[in-house]
């Protein structure tokens, strides 16, 4: 009974939702095309949206708080907490949704397991959006990259 009441409160208050390709959660709102052939993950509140396929994960997260008005590099480093033996393959500013986003390609380990990542961090209109592809290195990462790039191309704040 308590769980049902909580769900009704979330629905009544306009809790997080993805409808017709637009994600909304309070001040966070963005459009995306979900990656075809990927399984949507239930991640609670740790990420807004995430998908998995063949050991690779794509995630997208947004937050709007004054305390997040910090440099893109610092925001990116926050995403790498917990990863060890980090090797930055490339890092550059790229255009995204009318602003500059920081794109970072990294090879690292998570709990001793090798991973390859590409991260994008964007600040726009008082909000921070981060997107990530995390996969086993090499061909699994390469195979997932097209889906991640398509998600990035479809991204737009609302």
**pLDDT > 90 in the chain, percent:** 82
Number of compact structural domains in the chain: 1
Does 128 or 44 have the greater pLDDT score?
A: 128
Structural domain including 72 reads: 17-157
**Residue 125 falls inside a structural domain:** yes
Overall pTM > 0.85: yes
Distance, CA of 90 to CA of 143 (rounded, Å): 19
pLDDT for the residue numbered 15: 66
**Residue 105 falls inside a structural domain:** yes
**Residue 111 falls inside a structural domain:** yes
Does 1 or 60 have the greater pLDDT score?
A: 60
**Residue 4 falls inside a structural domain:** no
Integer CA distances (angstroms), 74 to 12, 30, 49, 79, 115, in order:
36, 23, 22, 9, 21
pLDDT for the residue numbered 44: 72
What is the pLDDT confidence band of residue 14, given thresholds at 50, 70 and 90? low
Q: Which has the closest alpha carbon to 88: 72, 106, 66?
A: 106
In tens, the pLDDT along 24-83 reads 999 999 999 999 999 999 877 666 899 999 999 999 999 999 888 899 999 999 999 999
Q: What is the CATH number of the domain that holds 64?
A: 3.40.1000.10
**Residue 132 falls inside a structural domain:** yes
**Residue 149 falls inside a structural domain:** yes
**Residue 78 falls inside a structural domain:** yes
Rounded to an integer, the average pLDDT of 18-29 is 94
**Residue 144 falls inside a structural domain:** yes
pLDDT for the residue numbered 122: 98
In tens, the pLDDT along 93-114 reads 999 999 999 999 999 999 999 9
């Amino acid at each position: 009974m308590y769980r049902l009441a909580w769900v009704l409160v979330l629905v009544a208050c306009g809790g997080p939702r993805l409808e017709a390709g637009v994600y909304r959660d309070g001040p966070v709102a963005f459009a995306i095309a979900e990656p075809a052939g990927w399984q949507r993950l239930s991640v609670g509140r740790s990420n807004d949206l995430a998908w998995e396929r063949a050991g690779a994960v794509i995630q997208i997260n947004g937050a709007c708080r004054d305390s997040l008005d910090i440099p893109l590099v610092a925001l990116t480093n926050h995403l790498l907490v917990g990863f060890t033996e980090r090797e930055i393959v490339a890092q550059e500013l790229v255009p995204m949704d009318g602003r500059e986003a920081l794109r970072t390609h990294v090879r690292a380990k998570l709990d001793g397991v090798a991973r390859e990542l590409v991260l994008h961090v964007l600040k726009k209109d008082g909000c921070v959006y981060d997107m990530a592809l995390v996969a086993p290195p090499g061909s699994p990462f390469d195979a997932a990259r097209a889906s991640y790039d398509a998600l990035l191309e479809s991204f737009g704040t609302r």
